[in-house]
Structure 1
Protein backbone atom coordinates (compact mmCIF):
# COMPACT_ATOMS: atom_id res chain seq x y z
CA UNK A 1 0.00 0.00 0.00
CA UNK A 2 1.40 3.38 -1.02
CA UNK A 3 1.99 5.97 1.68
CA UNK A 4 0.23 8.92 0.05
CA UNK A 5 -1.32 12.02 1.59
CA UNK A 6 -4.60 13.01 -0.05
CA UNK A 7 -5.08 16.56 -1.33
CA UNK A 8 -8.33 18.45 -1.67
CA UNK A 9 -9.75 18.27 -5.17
CA UNK A 10 -10.49 21.76 -6.48
CA UNK A 11 -13.72 22.38 -8.37
CA UNK A 12 -11.91 23.29 -11.59
CA UNK A 13 -9.68 20.20 -11.55
CA UNK A 14 -10.06 17.62 -14.27
CA UNK A 15 -9.35 14.05 -13.23
CA UNK A 16 -5.92 14.34 -14.82
CA UNK A 17 -5.20 17.56 -12.90
CA UNK A 18 -6.22 15.90 -9.65
CA UNK A 19 -4.03 12.85 -10.22
CA UNK A 20 -1.11 14.99 -11.37
CA UNK A 21 -1.27 17.37 -8.39
CA UNK A 22 -1.76 14.51 -5.93
CA UNK A 23 1.23 12.59 -7.22
CA UNK A 24 3.46 15.64 -7.54
CA UNK A 25 2.67 16.77 -3.99
CA UNK A 26 3.50 13.32 -2.64
CA UNK A 27 6.69 13.00 -4.70
CA UNK A 28 8.04 16.45 -3.76
CA UNK A 29 7.20 15.92 -0.07
CA UNK A 30 8.93 12.50 -0.21
CA UNK A 31 5.79 10.67 0.88
CA UNK A 32 6.46 8.76 -2.33
CA UNK A 33 10.16 8.15 -1.95
CA UNK A 34 12.61 8.11 -4.87
CA UNK A 35 12.74 4.64 -6.38
CA UNK A 36 9.15 3.75 -5.43
CA UNK A 37 7.34 1.61 -8.00
CA UNK A 38 3.80 2.81 -8.77
CA UNK A 39 1.21 1.46 -11.19
CA UNK A 40 -1.74 2.92 -13.06
CA UNK A 41 -4.05 0.37 -11.45
CA UNK A 42 -2.89 1.16 -7.93
CA UNK A 43 -3.18 4.94 -8.36
CA UNK A 44 -6.56 4.76 -10.12
CA UNK A 45 -7.97 2.69 -7.25
CA UNK A 46 -6.40 4.89 -4.59
CA UNK A 47 -7.66 8.16 -6.10
CA UNK A 48 -10.90 6.65 -7.41
CA UNK A 49 -10.47 7.71 -11.03
CA UNK A 50 -10.20 5.79 -14.29
CA UNK A 51 -6.82 4.71 -15.62
CA UNK A 52 -6.78 7.18 -18.54
CA UNK A 53 -6.17 10.33 -16.43
CA UNK A 54 -3.60 8.39 -14.42
CA UNK A 55 -1.74 7.49 -17.61
CA UNK A 56 -1.85 11.13 -18.74
CA UNK A 57 -0.57 12.34 -15.36
CA UNK A 58 2.24 9.76 -15.46
CA UNK A 59 3.37 11.08 -18.85
CA UNK A 60 3.36 14.69 -17.64
CA UNK A 61 5.34 13.81 -14.52
CA UNK A 62 7.79 11.85 -16.66
CA UNK A 63 8.34 14.98 -18.77
CA UNK A 64 9.16 16.81 -15.53
CA UNK A 65 11.62 14.04 -14.58
CA UNK A 66 9.70 13.05 -11.46
CA UNK A 67 8.68 9.67 -12.88
CA UNK A 68 10.59 7.23 -15.07
CA UNK A 69 8.46 4.95 -17.25
CA UNK A 70 10.09 1.70 -18.40
CA UNK A 71 8.07 -0.50 -20.81
CA UNK A 72 7.61 -4.03 -19.45
CA UNK A 73 9.25 -3.01 -16.16
CA UNK A 74 7.00 -0.40 -14.61
CA UNK A 75 6.88 3.22 -13.48
CA UNK A 76 9.18 4.51 -10.76
CA UNK A 77 9.63 7.75 -8.84
CA UNK A 78 12.95 9.12 -10.07
CA UNK A 79 16.00 9.26 -7.84
CA UNK A 80 17.25 12.72 -6.83
CA UNK A 81 19.81 13.92 -9.35
CA UNK A 82 22.48 16.06 -7.64
CA UNK A 83 23.72 17.48 -10.94
CA UNK A 84 20.20 18.69 -11.65
CA UNK A 85 19.94 20.01 -8.08
CA UNK A 86 23.12 22.06 -8.37
CA UNK A 87 22.28 23.54 -11.78
CA UNK A 88 18.86 24.60 -10.51
CA UNK A 89 20.31 25.98 -7.28
CA UNK A 90 22.88 27.98 -9.27
CA UNK A 91 20.23 29.50 -11.56
CA UNK A 92 17.92 30.24 -8.65
CA UNK A 93 20.71 31.88 -6.66
CA UNK A 94 21.58 34.34 -9.42
CA UNK A 95 17.97 35.15 -10.29
CA UNK A 96 17.00 35.75 -6.67
CA UNK A 97 20.11 37.78 -5.87
CA UNK A 98 19.23 40.11 -8.74
CA UNK A 99 15.62 40.23 -7.58
CA UNK A 100 16.39 41.06 -3.95
CA UNK A 101 18.54 43.97 -5.14
CA UNK A 102 15.47 45.24 -7.00
CA UNK A 103 13.42 44.81 -3.83
CA UNK A 104 15.78 47.18 -2.03
CA UNK A 105 14.99 49.86 -4.61
CA UNK A 106 11.24 49.49 -4.77
CA UNK A 107 9.29 47.35 -2.31
CA UNK A 108 5.93 48.29 -0.83
CA UNK A 109 5.12 48.39 2.88
CA UNK A 110 2.42 45.83 2.16
CA UNK A 111 5.00 43.39 0.77
CA UNK A 112 7.29 43.97 3.76
CA UNK A 113 4.35 43.23 6.07
CA UNK A 114 3.72 39.96 4.18
CA UNK A 115 7.36 38.95 4.70
CA UNK A 116 7.22 39.75 8.41
CA UNK A 117 3.93 37.89 8.80
CA UNK A 118 5.41 34.91 6.97
CA UNK A 119 8.49 34.94 9.22
CA UNK A 120 6.29 34.90 12.33
CA UNK A 121 4.54 31.78 11.00
CA UNK A 122 7.92 30.18 10.25
CA UNK A 123 8.91 30.63 13.90
CA UNK A 124 5.78 28.75 14.95
CA UNK A 125 6.69 25.92 12.57
CA UNK A 126 10.15 25.69 14.13
CA UNK A 127 8.59 25.40 17.59
CA UNK A 128 6.20 22.72 16.33
CA UNK A 129 8.92 20.98 14.26
CA UNK A 130 6.60 21.05 11.24
CA UNK A 131 9.00 20.82 8.31
CA UNK A 132 6.37 20.42 5.58
CA UNK A 133 4.65 23.66 6.58
CA UNK A 134 8.02 25.38 7.00
CA UNK A 135 8.95 24.37 3.45
CA UNK A 136 5.77 25.91 2.06
CA UNK A 137 6.28 29.10 4.05
CA UNK A 138 9.87 29.27 2.81
CA UNK A 139 8.58 29.06 -0.76
CA UNK A 140 5.99 31.76 -0.03
CA UNK A 141 8.69 33.98 1.49
CA UNK A 142 10.79 33.89 -1.68
CA UNK A 143 7.73 34.26 -3.90
CA UNK A 144 6.71 37.39 -1.97
CA UNK A 145 10.07 38.99 -2.75
CA UNK A 146 9.81 38.14 -6.45
CA UNK A 147 6.17 39.16 -6.81
CA UNK A 148 6.76 42.32 -4.76
CA UNK A 149 9.22 43.40 -7.45
CA UNK A 150 6.67 42.56 -10.15
CA UNK A 151 8.94 39.78 -11.47
CA UNK A 152 6.48 36.88 -11.40
CA UNK A 153 7.84 35.44 -14.64
CA UNK A 154 11.11 34.78 -12.81
CA UNK A 155 9.21 32.67 -10.29
CA UNK A 156 7.58 30.71 -13.11
CA UNK A 157 11.03 29.97 -14.55
CA UNK A 158 12.28 28.80 -11.14
CA UNK A 159 9.27 26.54 -10.60
CA UNK A 160 9.72 24.84 -13.97
CA UNK A 161 13.11 23.46 -12.91
CA UNK A 162 12.66 23.12 -9.16
CA UNK A 163 11.56 19.49 -8.77
CA UNK A 164 14.83 17.80 -7.79
CA UNK A 165 15.92 20.82 -5.75
CA UNK A 166 12.68 20.87 -3.77
CA UNK A 167 12.98 17.21 -2.84
CA UNK A 168 16.45 17.65 -1.37
CA UNK A 169 15.26 20.79 0.45
CA UNK A 170 12.47 18.75 2.04
CA UNK A 171 14.96 16.02 2.92
CA UNK A 172 17.29 18.56 4.51
CA UNK A 173 14.51 19.99 6.68
CA UNK A 174 13.32 16.51 7.68
CA UNK A 175 16.90 15.62 8.63
CA UNK A 176 16.83 18.29 11.37
CA UNK A 177 18.87 20.87 9.54
CA UNK A 178 19.60 24.07 11.47
CA UNK A 179 16.20 25.71 11.05
CA UNK A 180 17.21 28.68 13.21
CA UNK A 181 19.78 29.61 10.57
CA UNK A 182 17.06 29.76 7.91
CA UNK A 183 14.98 32.07 10.10
CA UNK A 184 17.98 34.26 10.87
CA UNK A 185 18.82 34.64 7.18
CA UNK A 186 15.21 35.46 6.33
CA UNK A 187 15.17 38.06 9.09
CA UNK A 188 18.37 39.62 7.74
CA UNK A 189 16.93 39.73 4.22
CA UNK A 190 13.88 41.63 5.49
CA UNK A 191 16.09 44.09 7.39
CA UNK A 192 18.27 44.70 4.33
CA UNK A 193 15.21 45.35 2.14
CA UNK A 194 13.76 47.77 4.71
CA UNK A 195 17.12 49.58 4.92
CA UNK A 196 17.42 49.57 1.10
CA UNK A 197 20.86 47.98 1.49
CA UNK A 198 21.35 46.21 -1.83
CA UNK A 199 24.82 44.82 -1.11
CA UNK A 200 23.78 43.31 2.22
CA UNK A 201 20.58 41.84 0.77
CA UNK A 202 22.57 40.34 -2.10
CA UNK A 203 25.17 38.84 0.25
CA UNK A 204 22.63 37.31 2.64
CA UNK A 205 20.60 35.86 -0.24
CA UNK A 206 23.78 34.35 -1.70
CA UNK A 207 24.69 32.75 1.63
CA UNK A 208 21.12 31.55 2.10
CA UNK A 209 20.92 29.83 -1.27
CA UNK A 210 24.43 28.37 -1.05
CA UNK A 211 23.78 26.54 2.22
CA UNK A 212 22.53 23.53 0.29
CA UNK A 213 25.92 23.05 -1.39
CA UNK A 214 27.46 22.03 1.93
CA UNK A 215 24.63 19.61 2.77
CA UNK A 216 24.31 17.68 -0.49
CA UNK A 217 27.07 15.12 -0.07
CA UNK A 218 26.33 14.40 3.59
CA UNK A 219 22.66 13.85 2.75
CA UNK A 220 23.62 11.54 -0.11
CA UNK A 221 25.83 9.46 2.19
CA UNK A 222 23.08 9.20 4.79
CA UNK A 223 20.26 8.47 2.31
CA UNK A 224 22.21 6.83 -0.50
CA UNK A 225 19.21 4.87 -1.82
CA UNK A 226 17.33 8.12 -2.61
CA UNK A 227 19.98 9.52 -4.95
CA UNK A 228 20.99 8.82 -8.52
Structure 2
Protein backbone atom coordinates (compact mmCIF):
# COMPACT_ATOMS: atom_id res chain seq x y z
CA UNK A 1 0.00 0.00 0.00
CA UNK A 2 1.30 3.45 -0.92
CA UNK A 3 1.12 6.04 1.86
CA UNK A 4 2.12 9.09 -0.16
CA UNK A 5 1.61 12.22 1.90
CA UNK A 6 -1.41 14.34 1.21
CA UNK A 7 -0.70 18.05 0.69
CA UNK A 8 -0.14 19.71 4.06
CA UNK A 9 0.23 23.38 5.03
CA UNK A 10 3.07 22.55 7.44
CA UNK A 11 6.41 20.76 7.61
CA UNK A 12 7.17 17.24 6.41
CA UNK A 13 7.81 16.23 10.01
CA UNK A 14 4.37 17.45 11.08
CA UNK A 15 2.73 15.79 8.08
CA UNK A 16 4.34 12.42 8.88
CA UNK A 17 3.41 12.75 12.56
CA UNK A 18 -0.20 13.72 11.77
CA UNK A 19 -0.80 10.85 9.39
CA UNK A 20 0.90 8.25 11.57
CA UNK A 21 -1.17 9.39 14.55
CA UNK A 22 -4.35 9.23 12.46
CA UNK A 23 -3.52 5.69 11.34
CA UNK A 24 -2.87 4.63 14.95
CA UNK A 25 -6.05 6.22 16.33
CA UNK A 26 -8.16 4.71 13.54
CA UNK A 27 -6.55 1.30 14.12
CA UNK A 28 -5.13 1.20 10.61
CA UNK A 29 -1.95 0.53 12.59
CA UNK A 30 -3.33 -1.73 15.35
CA UNK A 31 -1.84 -1.97 18.86
CA UNK A 32 1.33 -4.04 18.84
CA UNK A 33 2.20 -3.31 15.20
CA UNK A 34 6.01 -3.14 14.70
CA UNK A 35 7.24 0.12 13.19
CA UNK A 36 10.36 0.54 11.08
CA UNK A 37 12.00 3.88 10.34
CA UNK A 38 13.28 2.64 6.98
CA UNK A 39 10.00 1.11 5.84
CA UNK A 40 7.95 4.09 7.01
CA UNK A 41 10.29 6.52 5.27
CA UNK A 42 9.91 4.56 2.03
CA UNK A 43 6.13 4.40 2.34
CA UNK A 44 5.85 8.15 2.88
CA UNK A 45 8.66 8.94 0.42
CA UNK A 46 10.59 11.00 2.98
CA UNK A 47 13.95 10.77 4.74
CA UNK A 48 14.33 8.88 8.03
CA UNK A 49 14.72 12.08 10.07
CA UNK A 50 11.04 13.22 10.10
CA UNK A 51 10.00 9.60 10.71
CA UNK A 52 12.36 9.27 13.69
CA UNK A 53 11.12 12.59 15.11
CA UNK A 54 7.49 11.51 14.63
CA UNK A 55 8.14 8.22 16.43
CA UNK A 56 9.65 10.11 19.36
CA UNK A 57 6.72 12.52 19.51
CA UNK A 58 4.20 9.67 19.39
CA UNK A 59 6.17 7.87 22.10
CA UNK A 60 5.85 10.95 24.34
CA UNK A 61 2.08 10.77 23.83
CA UNK A 62 2.02 7.07 24.73
CA UNK A 63 0.99 5.88 21.27
CA UNK A 64 4.36 4.34 20.38
CA UNK A 65 6.65 2.25 22.55
CA UNK A 66 10.38 1.84 22.02
CA UNK A 67 11.67 -1.44 23.47
CA UNK A 68 15.49 -1.80 23.70
CA UNK A 69 16.85 -4.69 21.63
CA UNK A 70 13.34 -5.40 20.32
CA UNK A 71 12.28 -2.39 18.27
CA UNK A 72 9.51 0.19 18.02
CA UNK A 73 5.84 -0.76 18.25
CA UNK A 74 2.41 0.83 18.34
CA UNK A 75 1.63 0.82 22.06
CA UNK A 76 -1.03 -1.43 23.52
CA UNK A 77 -4.22 0.18 24.85
CA UNK A 78 -3.84 0.98 28.55
CA UNK A 79 -7.17 0.41 30.33
CA UNK A 80 -6.14 2.60 33.27
CA UNK A 81 -5.50 5.53 30.92
CA UNK A 82 -8.77 4.81 29.13
CA UNK A 83 -10.70 5.06 32.39
CA UNK A 84 -8.84 8.18 33.55
CA UNK A 85 -9.60 9.94 30.27
CA UNK A 86 -13.23 8.85 30.44
CA UNK A 87 -13.52 10.16 34.01
CA UNK A 88 -12.08 13.53 33.01
CA UNK A 89 -14.38 13.78 30.00
CA UNK A 90 -17.43 12.94 32.09
CA UNK A 91 -16.74 15.71 34.59
CA UNK A 92 -15.96 18.37 31.99
CA UNK A 93 -18.66 17.43 29.52
CA UNK A 94 -21.43 17.35 32.12
CA UNK A 95 -20.40 20.88 33.11
CA UNK A 96 -20.29 22.04 29.50
CA UNK A 97 -23.69 20.66 28.53
CA UNK A 98 -25.22 22.43 31.55
CA UNK A 99 -23.69 25.67 30.26
CA UNK A 100 -25.12 24.90 26.82
CA UNK A 101 -28.58 24.50 28.34
CA UNK A 102 -28.28 27.98 29.84
CA UNK A 103 -27.16 29.59 26.59
CA UNK A 104 -26.21 28.09 23.23
CA UNK A 105 -26.02 30.42 20.20
CA UNK A 106 -28.18 29.63 17.20
CA UNK A 107 -25.24 29.09 14.78
CA UNK A 108 -23.95 26.28 17.00
CA UNK A 109 -27.41 24.71 17.19
CA UNK A 110 -27.40 24.62 13.40
CA UNK A 111 -23.98 22.95 13.46
CA UNK A 112 -25.33 20.30 15.83
CA UNK A 113 -28.25 19.62 13.50
CA UNK A 114 -25.99 19.25 10.47
CA UNK A 115 -23.70 16.97 12.46
CA UNK A 116 -26.68 14.81 13.49
CA UNK A 117 -27.86 14.58 9.89
CA UNK A 118 -24.46 13.24 8.90
CA UNK A 119 -24.39 10.84 11.87
CA UNK A 120 -27.70 9.39 10.76
CA UNK A 121 -26.18 8.74 7.35
CA UNK A 122 -23.17 7.03 8.94
CA UNK A 123 -25.47 4.73 10.90
CA UNK A 124 -27.17 3.75 7.66
CA UNK A 125 -23.86 3.13 5.86
CA UNK A 126 -22.09 1.57 8.88
CA UNK A 127 -19.22 4.02 8.37
CA UNK A 128 -17.08 3.49 11.49
CA UNK A 129 -14.37 6.06 10.89
CA UNK A 130 -16.69 8.87 9.89
CA UNK A 131 -18.95 8.09 12.84
CA UNK A 132 -16.05 8.50 15.28
CA UNK A 133 -15.06 11.79 13.64
CA UNK A 134 -18.64 13.07 13.82
CA UNK A 135 -18.93 11.93 17.45
CA UNK A 136 -15.86 14.00 18.30
CA UNK A 137 -17.13 16.92 16.23
CA UNK A 138 -20.50 16.87 18.04
CA UNK A 139 -18.81 17.17 21.43
CA UNK A 140 -16.41 19.82 20.19
CA UNK A 141 -19.34 21.95 19.01
CA UNK A 142 -20.63 21.92 22.60
CA UNK A 143 -17.29 23.23 23.86
CA UNK A 144 -16.98 25.82 21.08
CA UNK A 145 -20.56 27.00 21.61
CA UNK A 146 -19.93 27.57 25.31
CA UNK A 147 -16.59 29.37 24.75
CA UNK A 148 -14.57 26.46 26.14
CA UNK A 149 -12.50 25.66 23.05
CA UNK A 150 -9.19 25.66 24.92
CA UNK A 151 -10.60 23.22 27.48
CA UNK A 152 -11.45 20.87 24.62
CA UNK A 153 -7.91 21.05 23.22
CA UNK A 154 -6.36 20.33 26.61
CA UNK A 155 -8.73 17.40 27.11
CA UNK A 156 -7.60 15.86 23.81
CA UNK A 157 -4.08 15.44 25.16
CA UNK A 158 -5.35 12.63 27.42
CA UNK A 159 -7.70 10.97 24.97
CA UNK A 160 -5.34 8.87 22.81
CA UNK A 161 -5.98 5.52 24.51
CA UNK A 162 -9.68 6.27 25.01
CA UNK A 163 -10.12 7.16 21.34
CA UNK A 164 -8.53 3.89 20.20
CA UNK A 165 -10.88 2.01 22.50
CA UNK A 166 -13.84 3.92 21.08
CA UNK A 167 -12.71 3.14 17.53
CA UNK A 168 -12.35 -0.54 18.39
CA UNK A 169 -15.87 -0.52 19.79
CA UNK A 170 -17.28 0.91 16.56
CA UNK A 171 -15.34 -1.54 14.39
CA UNK A 172 -16.40 -4.47 16.57
CA UNK A 173 -20.11 -3.64 16.56
CA UNK A 174 -21.60 -1.66 13.71
CA UNK A 175 -24.88 -1.25 15.59
CA UNK A 176 -24.19 2.23 16.93
CA UNK A 177 -27.58 3.80 16.33
CA UNK A 178 -27.79 4.29 20.10
CA UNK A 179 -24.87 6.76 19.91
CA UNK A 180 -26.77 8.83 17.38
CA UNK A 181 -29.92 8.64 19.52
CA UNK A 182 -28.07 9.86 22.62
CA UNK A 183 -26.62 12.77 20.65
CA UNK A 184 -30.11 13.54 19.34
CA UNK A 185 -31.48 13.58 22.91
CA UNK A 186 -28.66 15.89 24.02
CA UNK A 187 -29.38 18.38 21.25
CA UNK A 188 -33.10 18.32 22.07
CA UNK A 189 -32.37 18.87 25.78
CA UNK A 190 -30.18 21.86 24.94
CA UNK A 191 -32.96 23.37 22.82
CA UNK A 192 -35.44 22.81 25.65
CA UNK A 193 -32.90 24.21 28.16
CA UNK A 194 -33.43 21.06 30.22
CA UNK A 195 -30.16 20.89 32.18
CA UNK A 196 -30.95 17.83 34.37
CA UNK A 197 -31.97 15.72 31.35
CA UNK A 198 -28.94 16.82 29.34
CA UNK A 199 -26.55 16.05 32.20
CA UNK A 200 -28.11 12.62 32.74
CA UNK A 201 -27.88 11.69 29.07
CA UNK A 202 -24.28 12.88 28.87
CA UNK A 203 -23.32 10.72 31.87
CA UNK A 204 -25.02 7.67 30.33
CA UNK A 205 -23.33 8.38 27.01
CA UNK A 206 -19.82 8.54 28.47
CA UNK A 207 -20.39 5.57 30.77
CA UNK A 208 -20.89 3.20 27.84
CA UNK A 209 -17.13 2.74 27.60
CA UNK A 210 -16.92 1.20 31.09
CA UNK A 211 -18.92 -1.89 30.12
CA UNK A 212 -17.31 -2.03 26.68
CA UNK A 213 -13.77 -2.28 28.07
CA UNK A 214 -14.14 -5.71 29.67
CA UNK A 215 -15.79 -7.14 26.55
CA UNK A 216 -13.23 -5.67 24.17
CA UNK A 217 -10.28 -6.76 26.29
CA UNK A 218 -11.64 -10.31 26.31
CA UNK A 219 -12.22 -10.31 22.56
CA UNK A 220 -8.98 -8.51 21.60
CA UNK A 221 -6.48 -9.51 24.32
CA UNK A 222 -3.48 -8.76 22.07
CA UNK A 223 -4.55 -5.14 21.75
CA UNK A 224 -4.56 -4.40 25.48
CA UNK A 225 -1.83 -3.87 28.04
Which TM bucket (shorter chain)? over 0.9
Tell me the CA shift for residue 8 of structure 1: 2.2
**Which deviations, in whole Å up to 9, do the C-alpha atoms of 1:30-54 show, x marking residues without a partner?**
0101001011101100001100111
Partner residue of 1:75? 72
CA distance in 2 between counterparts of 1:23 and 1:218 reads: 27
Contact 1:5 1:26 in 2 (8 A): no
Q: Which residue of 1 aligns with 2:166?
A: 169
SS at match of 1:72: coil
- Which of residues 133, 138, 143 is equivalent to 1:136? 133
TM-score (norm 1): 0.96
| TM-score (norm. length: structure 2) | 0.97
* Aligned ranges 1:86-97 → 2 under 5 Å: 86-97=83-94
**Residue 184 of structure 2, aligned match among 183, 187, 195:** 187
- Whole-angstrom distance in 2 between the partners of 1:100 and 1:4: 42
C-alpha change, 1:221 and 1:6, in structure 2 (3 Å) is farther
Deviation at 1:142, TM superposition (A): 0.3
Where does residue 199 of structure 2 map in the other structure? 202
Q: Distance in 1 between matches of 2:24 and 2:80?
A: 19
> Counterparts of 1:213 and 1:6 in 2: how far apart (Å)?
37
Matches within 5 A, 1:1-228: 8-10=6-8, 12-176=9-173, 178-228=175-225
Q: Quick one: distance in 1 between partners of 2:27 and 2:163?
A: 10
Residue 150 of structure 1: SS of its match in structure 2? Answer: coil
**Any gaps of 5 or more consecutive residues in structure 2?**
none
Query: 2:90, 2:2 → 1: CA distance?
Result: 31
CA distance in 2, matches of 1:177, 1:23: 25
CA distance in 1, matches of 2:118, 2:5: 22
Checking the alignment, whether the CA contact within 8 Å between 1:126 and 1:134 is kept in structure 2 is yes
Alpha-carbon distance between aligned partners in 2 of 1:219 and 1:4, rounded to the nearest angstrom:
30
Question: Does the aligned pair in 2 maintain the 1:35–1:78 contact within 8 Å?
Answer: yes
Q: Aligned partners of 1:125, 1:6: CA distance in 2, in Å?
A: 27
Distance 1:69 1:112 in 2: 44
| Number of residue-to-residue matches in the alignment | 225
Unaligned runs of 5+ in 1: none
- Deviation for aligned residue 1:5: 6.0
CA-based RMSD of the aligned residues comes to: 1.3
Question: After TM superposition, what 4+ stretches of structure 1 lie above 6 angstroms from structure 2?
Answer: none
